[in-house]
Structure formats: structure tokens, C-alpha cells
Chains A and B, each alone.
Chain A
Amino acid sequence: MHVEEKMTYETWPAAPEKSTLESKNKFLGFWLFLGGETVLFATLFATYLALKDKVPNTSQHLAKDLFELPLTFVATMLLLTSSLTSVYAMYHMKNFAFKKMMLWLGLTVLLGAAFLGLEVYEFNHYVHKFHHTFTSSAFGSAFYTLVGFHGAHVAFGLCWILTLMIRNSKRGLNLYNAPKFYVASLYWHFIDVVWVFIFTVVYLMGMVG
């Protein structure tokens, strides 16, 4: 099978994400990248855990004063659901249903954007109400680096998926862009994987004390 081949529903392969040499390499390279991302986020988690609640004086707020369950819960549900919608998008990609794939990707982007909006609100709230900033304490630095890095990944993922959608809006599915959509959805799932540990380790464990 060639990248340039004009595909139909009948000729569409069962694994379009790795049916050409280029896409096989892309698939492998992307997973290697995700392995590296795992190390990156683990080190940020390590830093956060070591510096949690390390503040210079008692006027500064600790994790248990800052975090609130409802906000974290809504953010978690948004991101978790966006993971499912991108599963749906890849389901339609495998069935060569381009329009349906775009629809579900659009939903994924909307949910991701809502998550990001909540995070912006949350950081703003901490800075203005609690004076918990990046430079106020070691705790603040570690917190904003870890959660902010994840937020930056969400922002990057949104731009990535949107760019793919716009670039390929009139092109339809082929073996050139199907692996691109697939890899972007893997990235999106990985963002959700990281968030599962953030809501558990940072927020829930923060509220436990």
C-alpha cells in the first residue's frame, strides 16, 4: 500500500495507522516519545512530592487550604469524557467514516478547551485569592510547574488536533493523514493518563493532608 493511494471503503486497511513504512516509523517513534514523556512527568511529580507544602512562613496556604473537590471533579470528568470521544473518532477513522471522525474530534477539542478554561480560572483564583504564585514558595513553584506543564500539553494537543482537522478538512481520509490522526489521539489519551495521577496525587492527596 502506498501513501498516495486513493482509498475507498472497500480498500481501507484494518490498521490504517501503520500500513505504510512511514506510518510504522511514526507509530514507533511516537511511543518512544511517550516513554520519554513518562520520565518527564515522573520527575515533575517527584519534585512536587518532595516540595509539597514547603512554604517559607505560616501566612502561606497549604495544599489542603487551596484545593476544592467540585472543581477538580468537573475538570476530571471533562478530560475523561474527551478521552472517550477521541476513542470514538478513531473508531470512525478505522471504518473510513471521515465526517463522523471529524465530528467526534470536534467534540474532543470542545471538551479539552472547557478543561483548559477551568484550569485558567483555577490558577487565577489561587493567585488572587490565596496569593499562591509561582514565586511565593517552593510548593508554589512545584505545583505550577507540574500542573502547568500538563495544561500546556492540553493546549498543545488542542492546537495539534485543530490543525490536523483544518489541514485535512477537504482532503478526506487517506493513508497519509490517518496515522497523523491516530498519533494525535494517542497523545490526547496520554494527557488523560497524566491527569489521572495529577488529580489523585496533587488534588485528592492534597485534600487528605
Chain B
Amino acid sequence: MTNQPLSSGNPSVDIEYRRRKSAEEMRYQIISFTLMIFLTLVAFAAVAMKGFTAWFTVPFILLLAAVQVVFQLFYFMHMSHKGHEAPTLFLFSGLFVGLTGILAFLTVVWW
């Protein structure tokens, strides 16, 4: 089972190891948070500076949003961890259906 992966035979050693592991993971969380803030700043700056055309800005900020959401899902929501096969399937199935819907509304629906 995933909750008992360590068996050095000495509980206090295991706890020490786990504490260090989760402290290390927390460092990665801080790094991904910093990157998310940075991506947000870039996206807002790209819109605030009026020098770019919409043809550049729109795909650019959409890309930044996608990257940020990957950080959110894989680090904050732990989807990078083991035992997340079913969540990955559920989420990406939902995303597939949803994106098909968006594509349909943008192409089939017109005025």
C-alpha cells in the first residue's frame, strides 16, 4: 500500500525521512507558486502594454494560462504523484468533451 512505503524497521527514522520528503515537496510548491505569479504578471503586462496586436496577445495569454493550470493540477493538486491514473483519466476526458463543446460553439454557432 502507498501509505507504508518505508520500512527501515525504525519508526523514528521513517518519520524523519517523511518529514524531509514533504519539506522538500513544499519547496517545489513554493517554486511553482512563484512561477504561477510570474506567468500571471506576464499575462497582465502583455495586455497592459498596448503595443502588441490581438493576434499575438490572445494566443500568448492562453498559452500562459495553460502552463499555469498545469502547475496547479500537477503540483498543487498532486496529479504528478503516484496513484493518480483515474483522476488523470477523469480530468482529461472532461477536458476533451469540454474543448469539443467550445470548438463547436466557436465554429458551428454563428450570427
Measured CB to CB, the residues of A under 8 A from B are 1, 9-10, 13-16, 18-19, 28, 31-32, 34-39, 41-43, 45-47, 49-50, 54, 69, 72-73, 76-77, 80, 83-84, 87-88, 91, 94-95, 186, 189-190, 192-193, 196-197, 199-201, 204-205, 207-209
* A39 adjacent to B61 (CB under 8 Å): no
Whether B18 and A18, one on each chain, are in contact in the complex, defined by CB atoms closer than 8 angstroms, is no
A/B pair count, beta carbons within 8 Å: 147
CB neighbours of A77 from chain B (8 A): 37, 40
A18 — which chain B residues lie within 8 A by C-beta? 2-3, 83
- Given A9-B15, A43-B101: A204 touches B61 (CB 8 Å cut-off): yes
> In the assembled complex, which residues on chain B have CB atoms less than 8 Å from the CB atom of A41?
98
Question: B40, B43, B65, B101: which contacts A42 (Cβ < 8 A)?
Answer: B101
Per the CB 8 Å criterion, the residue count for chain B at the interface is 56
Measured between beta carbons, the chain B residues less than 8 angstroms from A201 are 62, 65
Task: State the Cβ distance, B64 to closest chain A Cβ, in Å.
Answer: 7
Are B47 and A87 touching (Cβ within 8 A)? no
User: Which residues in B have some Cβ–Cβ distance to A below 8 Å?
Assistant: 1-6, 11-12, 15, 18-19, 22, 25-26, 29-30, 33, 36-37, 40, 43-44, 46-48, 54, 57-58, 61-62, 64-65, 68-69, 72-73, 76-77, 83, 86-87, 90-91, 93-95, 97-99, 101-102, 104-106, 109, 111
Name the B residues within 8 Å of A34 (CB-CB): 87, 90-91, 94
Among residues of A, the one whose C-beta sits closest to the C-beta of B108 is A50
- CB pair A39 B62 closer than 8 Å: no
Choose from B6, B18, B29, B98 the contact partner of A39 (Cβ within 8 Å): B98
Which of chain B's residues have a CB closer than 8 A to the CB of A49?
102, 105-106
Docked CA distance A43–B72 (Å): 21
A14 and B58 within 8 A (CB): no
Closest residue on chain A to residue B37 by CB atoms: A80
Q: Is the CB of A50 within 8 A of B98?
A: no
